[in-house]
Structure 1
Amino acid sequence: MGLTSLLLSPYALLLLPIIYYLLPYIRNHAIRDIPGPKLAAFSNLWLLYQCRHGMRYLAVDQVHKTFGPLVRVQPDHVSVADPEAIGVVYSHTGGWLKSDYYDAFVSIQRGLFNTRDRAEHTRKRKAVSHTFSTKSIGQFEQYMAYNLQELVKQWDRISSTALSGGRQWAEMDCLHWFNYLAFDIIGDLAFGAPFGMLSKGRDIAEVKMTPNSPHHLCPRHRSPQPPR
């Protein structure tokens, strides 16, 4: 029997799926002893199933409760749930390489947070390290606190409106409000004043067409429906 005939035989075709799932298990022998769901050691299907059903966070939390702080959730993926490991895993000098997961966040070119090359990351990190120093971050607190208080004020207003209308609850899209919060904090830090999205409860900003022209409101996109 020739090699071609052997490769195309029914037995070879049946072996292909076995080899496909067995090779990652053999290749990642260094993490073979780390416990986890049996299927996860051979295939991505276990984690894919959890993601497809929107239960990944619950499933991963449950396997950590079952197996401990180190759990193998994919053939080449170990989930770590130990506060003491933060400094080890995320240390710049720890020798850990970012996974290809970060490639999904690359747009046009790599930035500081999605760069996987250690030398390139070191160069980019030095350029902005002073901005993220403890002293600099401490100076941001007053601006963040002010805008967080404005967010709470708006949510209290929405709740009070619902209560006065005879309801015990209020419906809103928190994602929009978190975007308002982020933009207002950025405006406060970068331009000396928030954009006013939180106070207006809308995704708008005051802009000028020319330095001497009057202000007008510019929505970035259609504002969401008001909370109920």
Structure 2
Amino acid sequence: MVLLSSTALWLGALGLIFYFFVKRITEWQRLRHIPGPFLAGWTDIWLLRHVIPGTLCTKLVDVCNEYGRLARIGPNWVVCGDAVEVQRIWSIRSGFSRTPWYKATRLDPEEDNVLTELDTKRHHQRRAKLVPAYAAKGLDNQERLVDEQVSKLIDLIDRKYISSPTTVKPCDMGRVMQYLTQDIITAVGFGKPAGYLDADEDMLGILETCESLLAPGHIIMFLPLVRRILESGILKPFLPKPTDDRGIGGLLGLIKSHVDTRYGDSKVHGKDMLQSFVDSGLTRPQVEAESLVTLFGGTDSTSTALRMTIFFLSTNMSAYRRLQAEIDAAVVSASRPIIADEHVKRLPFLQACIREGMRLWPPSMALLPKMSEIDQIVCGQAVPAGTYIGWSGLTVMKDKETFGDNADIFEPARWLEAEPEELKKMEGVYGLVFATGTGWECLGKKLAYVELGKVLFELFLRYDFSMVNAMHPFDWINHGFTIHRGMHVSITKRES
């Protein structure tokens, strides 16, 4: 009897090994014609090797340079570095849809949000309910609220971070820009700023906690089994709760407290994005889910765009001085104390700097995979149904066929000097930064441009910027969003 049991166990183990072997062979054969790193054809370990340290975004550039515009990076993964093909795949009627990869960004295993909804029809229906809030329809105070927070940023810099020829008071741009974007979104989203700029610190440790969760969240995206366990709700008792004092739980509690004020017998009617969500017909759990997306979906990306554009300008003195000359000429007729958004839109070189900054370092560089239910041809290669097709943001945005031989360089003038047909092509590719013209276009694009224009205008009007450590200006990791460490900037007041 013991012998039979032992034999059965051995046969079972051998059967299991044989099953996984056949499964691996079958997976490898599906995409064997698409070149890529050898290990990537057999296991997701190759992907995880670069996801874990936060360097996948730059490694994908190396892969596309070595293996071509379409390369295999996993058993069921390919990456596309071809701008035209990415535009086609992301287009509204392309036949491609989101993959389950997106589910890993869902904090509540029982409630989807606009970023995690996979069904294209339901996604579009939810977007339609959210668009009025993000477009500021009926919210005529939004620009004023932005202006108030920009003024607070200026006050903070004047109060604590003005350097002199003999004294350097380094400003951590990585943190301060997060404080700004968080205060802006809480002001326009919930009617009251969180107060980061006033305190000049990460109250409750929310920002630090969210940054610490980016890495595990990114890793889980590439571990389907772990992702399914999280989606099942088994671990829900161990997830952060609104009753927690700090971290993600504290953030959930903050969201819930805001939402609670809009329901019940003593509900208040605000003039903000949250009220627009409530009035749109979303359920209460959906309102809470979308409020969380509002709070962090765009603030990280906008703060990254701001600090990287300031950094890039500090490396190109001709662009730096040209921008300040345009600002100096415009301030004569600009509204005070903060320039109006309509005026900012009419400043061509400032707008070129914004585009160039986000082109050279896209605020979000996640793979954002799409898949098709039918076989497709991508970059001339047959891609079987169900294959995950991600993009290499840095490869696409530094495409020399689109942006010229100096595509690796921060040169805002390219946007003003290009011929009409060239400019149209550049704008189409650059639009992928916000997924413009696709079914997944960034809802916060309008507000992001308002923030970028106003902040850059007012800062370069008043100050000069230089990196404290020119040889090593900052450290960074990227888990979809970029985290900057040690981004210390010396800020001096401009001479009148």
Relative contact order (C-alpha < 8 Å, sep 6+): which is higher?
2
Pairing 1:201–2:203 present: no
Q: Deviations over 1:32-91 (max 9, x none)?
A: 432211211221111122233443223222111212222211111111223334432333
Q: Residue 41 of structure 2 aligns with which residue? A: 41
Q: Residue 477 of structure 2 aligns with which residue? A: none
Q: Residue 25 of structure 2 aligns with which residue? A: 22
Q: Residue 109 of structure 1 aligns with which residue? A: 111
Q: Residue 11 of structure 2 aligns with which residue? A: 8
Q: Residue 127 of structure 1 aligns with which residue? A: 129
* Aligned-partner Cα distance in 1 for 2:70–2:150: 35
Indicate conservation of the 8 Å contact 1:105/1:114, yes or no: yes
Residue 25 of structure 1: how far off its partner (Å): 1.7
Q: How many residues are treated as equivalent by the alignment?
A: 196
Change (3 A) 1:60 1:134: farther
Q: Deviations over 1:172-223 (max 9, x none)?
A: 372x43432232221342356644422442346xxxxxxxxxxxxxxxxxxx
Change (3 A) 1:187 1:47: closer
Q: Which runs of 5+ in 2 are unaligned?
A: 1-6, 204-487, 490-496
SS at match of 2:96: coil
Change (3 A) 1:194 1:77: same
* Aligned-partner Cα distance in 2 for 1:55–1:46: 12
Partner AA of 1:77 in structure 2? W
Q: Residue 211 of structure 1 aligns with which residue? A: none
Q: Residue 93 of structure 1 aligns with which residue? A: 93
Residue 151 of structure 1: how far off its partner (Å): 4.6
* Aligned-partner Cα distance in 2 for 1:157–1:83: 45
SS at match of 1:115: coil
Q: Which runs of 5+ in 1 are unaligned?
A: 205-226
SS at match of 1:101: helix
SS at match of 2:73: strand
Q: Residue 181 of structure 1 aligns with which residue? A: 180
SS at match of 1:160: coil
**Sequence identity percentage:** 23
Change (3 A) 1:11 1:163: farther
Indicate conservation of the 8 Å contact 1:25/1:42, yes or no: yes
Indicate conservation of the 8 Å contact 1:47/1:73, yes or no: yes
Task: Using structure 2 for the length normalisation, give the TM-score.
Answer: 0.33
SS at match of 1:129: helix
Residue 98 of structure 1: how far off its partner (Å): 1.1
Indicate conservation of the 8 Å contact 2:70/2:80, yes or no: yes
Residue 134 of structure 1: how far off its partner (Å): 11
Partner AA of 2:201 in structure 1? R
Select the structure of larger CA radius of gyration.
1
Indicate conservation of the 8 Å contact 1:158/1:170, yes or no: no
Task: Using structure 1 for the length normalisation, give the TM-score.
Answer: 0.63
Residue 135 of structure 1: how far off its partner (Å): 9.2
Within a 5 Å distance, the mapping from 1:203-218 to structure 2 comes to 203=202
SS at match of 1:64: helix
Change (3 A) 1:190 1:58: closer
Partner AA of 2:197 in structure 1? L
* Aligned-partner Cα distance in 2 for 1:156–1:86: 44
* Aligned-partner Cα distance in 1 for 2:152–2:135: 26
Supply the RMSD in Å over aligned alpha carbons.
4.2
Partner AA of 1:83 in structure 2? A
Residue 115 of structure 1: how far off its partner (Å): 0.3
* Aligned-partner Cα distance in 1 for 2:88–2:134: 19
Residue 11 of structure 1: how far off its partner (Å): 7.5
* Aligned-partner Cα distance in 2 for 1:112–1:189: 19
Change (3 A) 1:195 1:35: same
SS at match of 2:97: coil
* Aligned-partner Cα distance in 2 for 1:69–1:142: 45
Change (3 A) 1:150 1:118: same
Change (3 A) 1:11 1:123: closer
* Aligned-partner Cα distance in 1 for 2:34–2:146: 41
Indicate conservation of the 8 Å contact 2:136/2:142, yes or no: no
